[in-house]
Amino acid sequence: MASAFEYAPAPESRSIVDIAPSYGLFIDGEFTDAADGKVFKTVSPSSEEVLSEIAQAGEADVDRAVKAARKAFEKWSALPGSERAKYLFRIARIIQERSRELAVLETLDNGKPIKETRDADLPLVAAHFFYYAGWADKLDHAGYGANPRPLGVAGQVIPWNFPLLMLAWKIAPALATGNTVVLKPAETTPLSALFFADICRQAGLPKGVVNILPGYGDAGAALVAHPDVNKVAFTGSTAVGKQIARTVAGTRKKVTLELGGKGANIVFDDAPIDQAVEGIVNGIFFNQGQVCCAGSRLLVQESIQDELLDSLKRRLSTLRLGDPLDKNTDIGAINSEEQLSRITSLVERGEAEGAERWSPACDLPESGYWFAPTLFTNVTQAHTVARDEIFGPVLSVLTFRTPDEAVAKANNTPYGLSAGIWTEKGSRILAVANKLRAGVVWSNTFNKFDPTSPFGGYKESGFGREGGRHGLEAYLDV
């Protein structure tokens, strides 16, 4: 569809971010080389430009960081909650002050649109620190009995899709409850965590309370297995989550897992179509669909299928894909070459299995990792694209006739993280929400997050909740 108006480029300046040519590991308040001297490069997914060279943590570094965290734990956990609260409030404030810088940095390193880092990620990151800051001196009132104790050293492994937000989800409750932290960011997006180390320095956080170890899966595995880690928190794939569950078996380590999903977005025939279309787009194309709670399965009532799909396709034709730093960009780059090839192969499989593929006319940039927004129709529940998590901008469309059928299809997955319901009928929302096996259900909206609201999965989407009062439990000896 030809658009009436072309948009002039509106690039955000990257001059606000000063990326050093190299970074070390952040252990015991100092940046340091890896014990074995290994380094890796982090690239910008939209241009393949090398942004920086990063020290790569190995087993010896994990051990060093855990020792630092253990040493820091004694004093940190003994601080009055009101003092820990003030450190967290300081961090929250500094994040607000530096939020433009961090948004640009995150967009450069991750490939997601500046619109999202600026308007979604960073405000939520600050909000999480503010929220948990306020809990630090109120733990007696959290419902876990008087004087609940921290667990000790928390080993945290986070993914690349929301690098700084996942850091906030993990570090804010851990520190508020008096734990110390060793965090491993993903190998493709280590930069914002290293900038966060600098924020800890500015906030005057005691040495060793937060340690950051950029690295690969081996470093994450070593951290999870380290005998002196008391708490394991992981966000990532279900396959790795299962491996972690096996690793911690027979130990006293407390573990929370936020894993994959195959969220159903259910649209009933009385839904407001325009709002539903926005919700569907937001559900699967936000962050290029690289979202564990993405609404990757659209379940549409058969009677409105044509109308809805026409609207949806029209809307997709208006999405702008390209430079993530452009403030007009809706769809940025796929995070890595590896992820792009995974998406590509799953989509090819979808075609081979007979589903019908559609994308709007869309020019992809020459360099970088890109994937056009994609729809699959004629999808059955047996199709790979209806079963496997694609983690990309790919929506599978299925149909249903009755609410019972919608619920049965929505629940027909080993995952249970998110779901959406679109209908004007309140009783139907409540009845369907009640039957869905998912940790978060958005009705007449999608992909909404808030630090006060527990988030986490049923079934193979993992266990434990992050956010809200519930998020404290994971870090307390209760």
Partner 1 sequence: MSERLTVLKTYKLYVGGKFPRSESGRVYEVTDSKGNWLANAPLSSRKDARDAVVAARRAVGGWSGATAYNRGQVLYRVAEMLEGRRAQFVHEVADAEGLSKSKAADQVDAAIDRWVWYAGWTDKIAQVVGGGNPVAGPFFNLSSPEPTGVVAVLAPQESSFLGLVSVVAPVIATGNTAVVVASEKAPLPALSLAEVLATSDVPGGVVNILSGRTAEIAAPLAAHQDVNAIDLAGADEVLAKELEIAAADNLKRVLRPQPVDDWSAAPGTDRMTAFLETKTVWHPTGSLGASGSSY
Which residues are marked as active site? 258, 292
Could you give the angle at which helices 81-97 and 191-202 cross, rounded to 10 degrees?
120
Q: Pick one of 9, 11, 80, 143: the residue that binds partner 1 (CB under 8 A).
A: 143
Cβ closest to partner 1, residue 30 vs residue 278: 278
Q: Which of residues 223-242 bind partner 1 (CB under 8 A)?
A: 238, 241-242
The upper half-sphere exposure of residue 219, i.e. CA atoms within 13 Å in the direction of its Cβ, equals 30
Q: Does 294 bind partner 1 (CB under 8 A)?
A: no
H or E stretch at 23 = strand 22-23
The rounded radius of gyration (Å) of the Cα atoms in the chain is 22
Q: Which of residues 455-474 bind partner 1 (CB under 8 A)?
A: 455-456, 458-460, 462-463, 465, 468-470
Q: Does 442 bind partner 1 (CB under 8 A)?
A: yes
Q: Does 422 bind partner 1 (CB under 8 A)?
A: no
Q: Which amino acid is at 333?
A: A
Q: Are 263 and 251 in contact (CB under 8 A)?
A: no
Q: State residue 426 phi and psi, 5-degree precision.
A: -60, -45
Q: Does 433 bind partner 1 (CB under 8 A)?
A: yes
Cβ closest to partner 1, residue 399 vs residue 443: 443
CB count within 10 Å of CB 39 equals: 15
Cβ closest to partner 1, residue 174 vs residue 440: 440
Tokens at residue 125, please?
């990151």
**Euclidean distance between the first and the last CA atom of the chain, given in angstroms as a whole number:** 57
Q: Max alpha carbon distance in the chain (Å)?
A: 64
**Contact region for partner 1 (CB under 8 A) — 78-86, 176-184, 360-368, 454-462?**
454-462
Tokens at residue 83, please?
């003092």
Cβ closest to partner 1, residue 132 vs residue 463: 463
Q: Which amino acid is at 252?
A: R
Q: Does 441 bind partner 1 (CB under 8 A)?
A: yes
In the three-class reduction of DSSP (H, G, I as helix; E, B as strand; rest coil), residue 365 is classed as coil
Q: Does 439 bind partner 1 (CB under 8 A)?
A: yes
Least distance (Å) between residue 120 CB and partner 1: 12
Q: Pick one of 4, 78, 250, 352: the residue that binds partner 1 (CB under 8 A).
A: 250
Cβ closest to partner 1, residue 322 vs residue 439: 439
Least distance (Å) between residue 443 CB and partner 1: 5
Strand 418-422, strand 440-443: pairing: parallel
Which residues, including other chains, have CB under 8 Å from residue 336's CB and lie 6 or more apart? 45, 160, 188, 369
How far apart (Å, rounded) are the C-alpha atoms in residues 187 and 218? 11
CB count within 10 Å of CB 78 equals: 9
Number of chain residues interacting with partner 1 (CB under 8 A): 42
Q: Pick one of 68, 72, 136, 438: the residue that binds partner 1 (CB under 8 A).
A: 438
Q: Which amino acid is at 135?
A: W
Q: Pick one of 225, 245, 346, 362: the residue that binds partner 1 (CB under 8 A).
A: 245
How far apart (Å, rounded) are the C-alpha atoms in residues 147 and 302? 55
Least distance (Å) between residue 59 CB and partner 1: 22
Q: Are 201 and 29 in contact (CB under 8 A)?
A: yes
Least distance (Å) between residue 224 CB and partner 1: 13
Cβ closest to partner 1, residue 84 vs residue 459: 459
**Contact region for partner 1 (CB under 8 A) — 89-97, 220-228, 302-310, 446-454?**
446-454
Least distance (Å) between residue 393 CB and partner 1: 23
Q: Does 414 bind partner 1 (CB under 8 A)?
A: yes
Residues that bind partner 1 (CB under 8 A): 127, 143, 238, 241-243, 245-246, 249-250, 252, 257, 259, 414, 429, 433, 436, 438-445, 448, 450, 452-456, 458-460, 462-463, 465, 468-470, 478
